[in-house]
Structure 1
Amino acid sequence: MSLADVGPLLLVGAGRMGSAMLEGWIARGLDPDLTFVIEPQPSDRLRELAETRGIHLNPDPAEGPAPDKMVLAVKPQVMDDVLARIAPFASPSTLVISIAAGRTLEGIARHFPTGTPIVRSIPNTPAAIGKGVTVAHANQAVDEDGRRVCTRLLESLGVVEWVDEEQLIDAATAVSGSGPAYAFYLAECLAEAGHAEGLPQDLAARLAAVTVAGAGALMLESGLPASKLRENVTSPNGTTAAALAVLMREEHGLGALMREAVAAAAARSRQLAT
Structure 2
Amino acid sequence: MKLGFIGTGNMASAIMGGIIKKQIISADEMIGADLFAPGREKVKSQFKIHVTDSNKEVVEKAEVIVLSVKPQFYEDVIHEIRDDIRDNQIVITIAPGKTLAWLAEQFGKNVKIVRTMPNTPAMVGEGMTAACPNEYMTEEETAYVCTLLESFGRVEIVPERLMDTVVSVSGSSPAYVFMMIEAMADAAVSGGMPRPKAYQFAAQAVLGSAKMVLETGKHPGELKDMVCSPAGTTIEAVRVLEELGFRSAVFEAMKVCEEMSKGM
TM-score tier, shorter chain, comes to: 0.7 to 0.9
Aligned to 1:145: 140
- Note the alpha carbon deviations across 1:121-171, whole angstroms, 9 max, x for none: 11111011111101111222222112101101111221001112x221101
Give the Cα separation in 2 of the matches to 1:25 and 1:191.
34
Equivalent in 3, 12, 16 of residue 10 of structure 2: 16
- Is 2:250 aligned against 1:255? no
Q: Which runs of 5+ in 2 are unaligned?
A: none
- Whether the 8 Å CA contact 1:135–1:162 is kept in 2: the answer is yes
Matched, 1:185 2:179: yes
1:77 and 2:75 matched = no
**2:256 aligned residue:** 264
Q: How does 1:1-274 map to 2 (within 5 A)?
A: 8-27=2-21, 28-41=23-36, 42-48=39-45, 52=48, 55-58=49-52, 61=56, 65=60, 67-164=62-159, 166-249=160-243, 252-272=244-264
| Counterpart Cα distance in 2 of 1:204 and 1:184 | 13
Distance, in Å, in 1 between the alignment partners of 2:194 and 2:228 is: 26
Aligned residue type for 1:245: R
How far apart, CA to CA, are the structure 1 residues paired with 2:58 and 2:91?
20
Return closer, same or farther for 1:62/1:233 CA change in 2, 3 Å cut-off.
closer
Q: Which runs of 5+ in 1 are unaligned?
A: 1-6
How big is each residue's C-alpha offset from its partner over 1:62-98, in whole Å with a ceiling of 9 and x where there is no partner? 6985633111111111112222222322202321110
> Residues 136 and 261 (structure 1 numbering): CA distance in 2 closer, same or farther, change over 3 Å?
same
Q: Which letter maps to 1:230?
A: K
Name the SS for the 1:92 alignment partner: coil
SS in 2 for 1:248: helix
Distance (whole Å) between structure 2 residues aligned to residue 59 and residue 198 of structure 1: 51
Deviation at 1:14, TM superposition (A): 1.3
Supply the distance in 2 between the matched residues of 1:57 and 1:229 (Cα, whole angstroms): 48
Matched pairs, number: 260
TM-score (ref. length: structure 2): 0.87
User: CA–CA distance in 2 between the matches of 1:64 and 1:106?
Assistant: 21
Relative to the length of structure 1, the TM-score reads: 0.84
1:238–1:12 CA distance, 2 compared to 1 (3 A): same
Whole-Å separation in 1 of the counterparts to 2:16 and 2:58:
22
Distance 1:136 1:15 in 2: 20
Counterpart in 2 of 1:4?
A: none
For the residue of structure 2 that corresponds to 1:167, the secondary structure is: helix
**Secondary structure, counterpart of 1:121 in structure 2:** strand
| Post-superposition offset of 1:102 | 2.4
Q: 1:96 to 1:44 in 2, by over 3 A?
A: closer
Contact 1:14 1:37 in 2 (8 A): yes
Query: Compared with structure 1, are the counterparts of its residues 78 and 226 closer, same or farther at alpha carbon in structure 2 (3 Å cutoff)?
Result: same
What letter is aligned with 1:126?
P
Distance 1:147 1:29, change over 3 A: closer
CA contact (8 A) 2:4 2:30 kept: yes
Q: Judging by fraction of residues, say which structure has more helix.
A: 2
Stretch of structure 1 that moved more, 111-120 or 181-190:
111-120
